[in-house]
Amino acid sequence: MVRTALSGLEASVTNEAQRAALQQLPGVDRLLQDNQLASACDQAGRDVVVAAVRDVLAGQRRTILAGGNPPTTAHLISEVLRTVAERTQPTLRPIINATGVIIHTNLGRAPLSRAALAAMQAVGGGYSNLEFDLDAGTRGSRYSHVATLLAALSGAEGALVVNNNAAALFLILATFAASREVVISRAHLVEIGGGFRIPDILRRSGATLREVGTTNRTYVGDYEAAIGEATGLLLRVHSSNFLITGFVHQPELRELVDLARAHDLPLLDDLGSGALLDTRAFGLAAEPRVQASV
């Protein structure tokens, strides 16, 4: 009962008017007997409503101690219902993107097409062969549904879908460069969306950072000079949201590919957006395409 918890608070109250006002507050059980709150319990769950009642009562106690008047029971019930409604409504809501940024990382990125939404509704409303091979009649892989399509679109030999760019980078580094060195230009030690920093991801993957060149000028010879027995891979990162201009130089992708092949090392090309289409066709700035990198 709330009265037990309230007694300690009342003991510290010296103002008799405040004490009387606090004692007028109904207990949790009494409020829950109200028909509206009983209905809310059926719809939202008793635990949710009880938590809302306790929070509303706690707020009203603070109001009284600050000199406010005690609320009516009707007001308390109204506040509880409002709190329950706020806590149970979906947090994701449609909004209007008036920022001028078409693919906005904070606003859900790219909206899904009608065809994609229809496909999701058709399959998501029931059971599916998510991890079942219909031809073989055995367990399959959930990646098979998209890997073939992505490989065909990109020209790659295979494909894997993960949550975001940082996750992809981490998995590749942990697989090919754990306890080994990763050679990267100082100009590519960037911070990407969500506060993910390339040096931090490298360390957490178990790889060792081997910086080469300078912020504004790095040559393929800098990469080559850093290659040794401990080298795990070469890393190239696209600076998608900033630009260094003026007295600058970075090796072309082809130069790094040739260098990696000469030393039998993997080359990881972090493209950022991972564009599959020519963005210039839509009036946007050019972004490196996966097909060109592959």
Least confident range from 6-10, 32-36, 185-189, 203-207: namely 6-10
Mean pLDDT of 216-242: 92
Mean pLDDT computed over 253-272? 95
Mean pLDDT of the region 204-229: 95
Confidence of residue 242 (pLDDT cuts 50, 70, 90): confident
Domain co-membership, 252 together with 177: yes
Residues 292 and 253: their CA atoms lie apart, in Å, by 10
Segment 263-271 shows an average pLDDT of 95
List pLDDT tens digits, range 80-91: 999 999 999 999
Query: Which pTM does this prediction carry?
Result: 0.71
Q: Are residues 192 and 153 in the same domain?
A: no
* Mean pLDDT to the nearest integer, 3-12: 48
Instruction: Give the pLDDT confidence of 55-83 residue by residue, as tens digits.
Output: 999 999 999 999 898 999 999 999 999 99
User: Could you tell me if 60 and 150 lie in one domain?
Assistant: no
Domain boundary among 110, 139, 161: 161
Joined together, the tokens standing for residue 238 give: 């696209």
- CA atoms of 123 and 78, how far apart (whole Å): 41
Share of the chain above pLDDT 70, in %: 94
**Inside any domain, residue 120:** no
Q: Is residue 262 part of a domain?
A: yes
Does 4 score more than 50 pLDDT? Answer: no
Q: Does residue 80 sit within a domain?
A: yes
Same domain flag for 152 and 230: no
Q: What is the mean pLDDT of the chain?
A: 90
Residues 254 and 154 occupy one common structural domain: no
Q: Please indicate, yes or no, if residue 57 is contained in any of the structural domains.
A: yes
Same domain, 146 and 259: no
DSSP run (H or E) holding 61? helix 46-65
Q: Mark which of 88, 122, 147 sits at the end of a domain.
A: 88
Paired strand residues for 185:
212
Q: Is residue 93 part of a domain?
A: no
Whether 228 and 204 share a structural domain: yes
Q: How far is Cα 224 from Cα 217, in angstroms, rounded to an integer?
A: 15
Q: Structural domain tally of the chain?
A: 3
Among 113, 140, 161, the domain-final residue is: 161
The closest of 234, 171, 235 to 206, measured between CA atoms, is 171
Q: What is the pLDDT of residue 283?
A: 84
Beta carbons within 10 angstroms of residue 290's beta carbon: 19
Residues 146-181: tens digit of each pLDDT: 998 999 999 999 999 998 888 999 999 999 999 999
Distance of CA 214 to the CA centre of its chain: 32
pLDDT score for 3: 46
Residue 126 lies in a domain: no
**Contacts of 147 by beta carbon, 8 Å cutoff, 6+ apart:** 158, 159, 160, 161
Q: Which two tokens stand for residue 185?
A: 């230009």
pLDDT of residue 26: 94
Does pLDDT of 49 surpass 70? yes
Domain containing residue 6: 2-88
Per-residue pLDDT band at 117 (split at 50, 70, 90): very high
pLDDT at 12: 52
Q: Are residues 32 and 72 in the same domain?
A: yes
Q: Are residues 263 and 189 in the same domain?
A: yes
- Across the range 256-278, mean pLDDT stands at 92
Rounded distance between C-alpha atoms, residue 2 and residue 30, angstroms: 10
Judge whether 209 and 203 are in contact, CB under 8 Å: yes
Look at residues 81, 88, 77 and name the one whose alpha carbon lies nearest to residue 34.
Answer: 77
pLDDT above 90 (res 9): no
- Distance (Å, whole) CA 269 – CA 187: 14
Give me 242's structure tokens: 């900033």
Name the 3-class secondary structure at 216: coil
Q: Specify whether the CB–CB gap between 163 and 157 falls below 8 A.
A: no
Task: Please give the distance of CA 15 from its chain centroid, rounded to a whole number.
Answer: 50
- Residue 283: inside a domain, yes or no? yes
Tell me, what's the pLDDT at 243? 78
CA distances from 177 to 43, 102, 192, 265 (A): 52, 35, 21, 10
224 token code pair: 């080559």
What DSSP state is assigned to residue 247? S
Residue 233's CB is within 10 A of a number of other CB atoms, namely 20
Report yes or no on 223 lying in a domain. yes
pLDDT recorded at residue 150: 92
Does one domain contain both 176 and 287?
yes
**Rounded distance between C-alpha atoms, residue 9 and residue 7, angstroms:** 5
Same domain, 80 and 139: no
Q: Which residue has the tokens 């059926």?
A: 42
> Are 178 and 285 members of one domain?
yes
